[in-house]
Structure 1
Amino acid sequence: MEDFLSIFFFLLASYSVIANDSIQTLGTWMSSNKKTPWYYLAVFAAGGLILTVSYSWFVNNGDISYGRLEKIPFVQVEWYHGIAPVVLIFLTRKGVPVSTSFLILATFASTVVLESMLLKSIVGYALSAVSAYIFWILISKVLDEKASIRGRNKELWLKLQWVSTGFLWWSWLTHDVANISVFLPRQISGLQLILILVFFTAVIFFIFREGGGKIQNIVRTKTNTKYVRSATIIDFVYAIILFFFKEVNSIPMSTTWVFIGLLSGREMAITTLSKHRKMKKLFPIISSDFGKLVIGMTISVVIALCVNYLASHK
């Protein structure tokens, strides 16, 4: 029964985490490649996922989480551990960008680890917002994001976008696969790896077939994210920030907070430079996204408290 629960909740977490968080990494790419058949994009994303997860399995003795769970030991999965992925599926369908790191890992991690995760995520939000603001102020001096690109320049930017998206996809997976594999033993067999990769691929194709779902609206509402150059720059900056935090330590963090911070900082820079766009019109956008993060965090804490209570009284 315990093994069945581990597998079942793992499957739920796989869909909910990838559906909620993958838009952070693939959303701008999808927005700027609407004319490309969705299955071409899905093949690219699935291929990157297979290579990234397989590499971790090979170099980390069967561990697909890139060592992110070394401070969160495996525990026998009980029915109440499934509350988090079920709630996450509901929030994803409603378009709420909740932090899957907090919502899923909070039900397994100790208080000390949760505090470290929270601190790292807050720093990530602030750093990404400031970095994005400064970067877009500087780059606006030399690049008109709305200007059309043709010929060799267009081909170059299209190639750069796919490279930056691949880099970002890898960076994100090295962080957030831990949110899924927390339901499994820290070492898995080769057969288990193959079955997991098959299911991951199916989820990717389903998400792309849906066009990203309601979470994709967060990307669509941001300025110029449909343009190739804007999407390329967003992905590259985001990937660099995630790579930086990956190298800092193995403590998991909320990539959602980093992503929202990045978009907020960029929107503030665009508003600062605009002669026609007033700052008062910006704050509803930023406050809405941040408010959703706070709602997600509150839900995560409540679920964690409930699970810990149930675990101590079973």
Structure 2
Amino acid sequence: MDQFLSIFFFLLASYSVIANDSIQTLGTWMSSNRKTPWYYLASFAALGLILTVSYSWFANNGDISYGRLEKIPYIEVHWYHGIAPVVLILMTRMGIPVSTSFLILATFASSVVLESMLLKSIIGYGVSAVTAYLFWIAISKVLDEKKSIRDNSQTGFIGSLYKTLKRKGIVKKLNYKEFQKSYWSSLQWVSTGFLWWSWLTHDVANISVFLPRQISGLQLILILVFFTSVIFFIFREGGGKIQGIVLTKTNTKYVRSATIIDFVYAAILFFFKEVNSIPMSTTWVFIGLLTGREMAITTLSKHRKIKNLFPIIRNDFGKLVLGMTVSVLVALAVNYIASKY
């Protein structure tokens, strides 16, 4: 019975975690590639997932969590452990960007590990907000995100690159507008791949916590098949309600903005991955990044007022706090129920 519950809750967590958190990494890419068939995008994401999870399995002796669960030993799964993924599914359907790391892992982690997770996540929010603010202030001096990639003025790095390649006969058939579009589209796919890998190295732990820390080759194959099915379902649904948060942010549907967001987010996640193996909330990092970026854009804009930014920040941060509150309540409820058994 315990083994059945472990598998069932793993499947439930797989859908709930990927549906809630994957939009943080793939949302801007999806929104700026709306004209690309969804199954092409889903295939790319599924391939990245398969390679990333498989590498962890090979490199970590059957562990697909990239060592994120070193301080959270495997325990027998009981029915009350399923409360967290069920709550996560409900909150995802309501469009609330809850931290899956807290909601799922809090029911398994000790208070010491939970405190470390909370501290790392809060620091992650602050670091990502400050980094994004400073980065977008700096990049505004060399790149206008609002400027169309169809602009024909051959200036800056891309203009110089085009002239060089044109002179060498490498881009004979492309005019400058076509070259810009191809350049940024290619760069975005690269940045998305980097970000998708960075996110998976963090958040697969939120799913695999229901499983033994070492799994067999057959189990790996079955897991990858299910993961792929979830990815295709999410893409067919257009990302769900969490995608709405991405679309409310300035220019995220444009390829240049989406590419820059992905690169910065991936770099921050990679940094925290290297700091230590303690899990953290990638949701807090993501919202912090978008907050810092919006603040920078507002600071630079002559037509936007700071006071108009606060409702957006308040709304996003309020959802984070709500998600955190629910996570703590669920963890307390599960621990209370567990103490009675």
Q: TM-score, normalised by structure 2?
A: 0.92
Report the Cα offset of residue 312 of structure 1. Answer: 1.2
Partners in 2 of 1:116 and 1:146 — Cα distance? 40
* CA positional deviation for 1:37: 0.3
Secondary structure of 1:290's match?
helix
1:272 corresponds to 2:299? yes
Q: Which runs of 5+ in 1 are unaligned?
A: none
Aligned-residue identity in percent: 85
Deviations 1:90-145 (A, max 9, x none): 00000000000000000000000000000000000000000000000111111111
Residue 291 of structure 1 corresponds to 318
Confirm whether residue 230 of structure 1 aligns to residue 230 of structure 2: no
Residue 219 (structure 1) shift:
0.3
> Residues 227-268 of structure 1, C-alpha deviation per residue, up to 9 Å, x if partnerless?
101000000000000000000000000000000000000000
Q: Counterparts of 1:93 and 1:307 in 2: how far apart (Å)?
A: 22
Structure 2: distance between partners of 1:51 and 1:122: 30
Q: Indicate the SS of the match to 2:242.
A: helix
Residue by residue, what CA displacement relative to the aligned partner does 1:166-190 show, whole Å, maximum 9, x if unpaired?
0000000000000000000000000
Distance across 2 between alignment mates of 1:48 and 1:281? 38
Corresponding residue number in structure 2 for 1:162 = 189
Q: 3-state DSSP class of the match of 1:214?
A: coil
Distance 1:275 1:148 in 2: 19
Within a 5 Å distance, the mapping from 1:20-169 to structure 2 comes to: 20-149=20-149, 150-169=177-196
| Alpha-carbon distance in 2 for matches of 1:219, 1:304 | 28
Q: Give, in angstroms, the shift of residue 153 of structure 1.
A: 1.6
- The range that moved more, 64-73 or 303-312, is 303-312
Q: Quote the Cα distance in structure 2 between the aligned partners of 1:242 and 1:141.
A: 25
The whole-number CA distance in structure 2 between the counterparts of 1:148 and 1:224 is: 11
CA distance in 2: counterparts of 1:290 and 1:8, whole angstroms: 32
Amino acid at match of 1:88: L
Matched to 1:309, the amino acid is Y
Residue 298 of structure 1 and its aligned partner are, at CA, apart by 0.4
Cα distance in 2 for residues equivalent to 1:27 and 1:107: 28
Cα distance in 1, alignment partners of residues 299 and 148 from structure 2: 23
The amino acid that maps onto 1:267 is E
| Structure 2: 5+ residue stretches without partners | 150-176
Q: Give the counterpart letter for 1:201 in structure 2.
A: T
RMSD: 0.4
Q: Say which one has the larger Rg.
A: 2
Tell me the equivalent position of 2:174: none
The code of the aligned residue for 1:49 comes to L
Structure 1 moving runs of 4+ over 2 Å: none
Task: Give 2:204's aligned amino acid.
Answer: V
Cα distance, 1:21 vs. partner? 0.1
Instruction: Please state how far the C-alpha of 1:311 moved relative to its aligned partner.
Output: 1.0
Q: Report the Cα distance in structure 1 between the residues aligned to 2:84 and 2:223, rounded to whole angstroms.
A: 20
Return the letter of the residue paired with 2:316. D
Counterpart residue number, 1:19: 19
Number of matched residues? Answer: 314
One-letter amino acid of the structure 2 residue matched with residue 253 of structure 1: M
CA separation in 2, counterparts of 1:209 and 1:313?
Answer: 43
Match of 1:195 in 2: 222
